[in-house]
Structure 1
């Protein structure tokens, strides 16, 4: 799983008083998890990503193609 290059967006939310985590390459709800600290949000985001990948694989669905940044 380490070679998969999916985006993870971590953003502070004053309304929720925590860091929110989005995985925009995956369809569905934008915000997937959260954390009280940036490090906790990152760890929870990585866990959510791994869970999504396992769910896709167990259902026989193709994984989304990761969007990759270009340096042009």
Structure 2
């Protein structure tokens, strides 16, 4: 399956990646490539745990641009 992730650089230079449709599914890496590989593993593990606990696999999210 395909999941949308967000990728941000933190103040220490690490790349933080999150899968918004899976609550709590976050990982990081020293570079973008590492972070993206790490989130793949995190997604698999999060999905397994959610299934074991009988939780919904994903939650509904939407992206909306806001101008300020």
User: What TM-score do you get using the length of structure 1 for normalisation?
Assistant: 0.70
Whose RCO is larger (CA < 8 A, sep 6+)? 1
Shift of 1:22: 1.1
Shift of 1:58: 1.1
Taking the TM superposition and a 5 Å limit, the aligned residue runs for 1:23-34 are: 23-28=19-24, 32-34=26-28
Paired positions, count: 63
**Structure 1 runs, 4 residues or longer, greater than 2 Å off:** 65-69
Q: Distance in 2 between matches of 1:33 and 1:16?
A: 15
Say whether residues 1:60 and 2:54 are aligned partners. Answer: yes
Task: State the Cα deviation string for residues 3-31 of structure 1 (Å, max 9, x = none).
Answer: 2x322111122x12111111111234xx7
Uncovered stretches (5+) of structure 2, i.e. residues with no partner: 64-68
The more displaced of 49-58 and 19-28 is 19-28
Uncovered stretches (5+) of structure 1, i.e. residues with no partner: none
Preserved contact between residue 33 and residue 41 of structure 1 (Cα < 8 Å): yes
Q: Distance in 1 between matches of 2:31 and 2:14?
A: 7
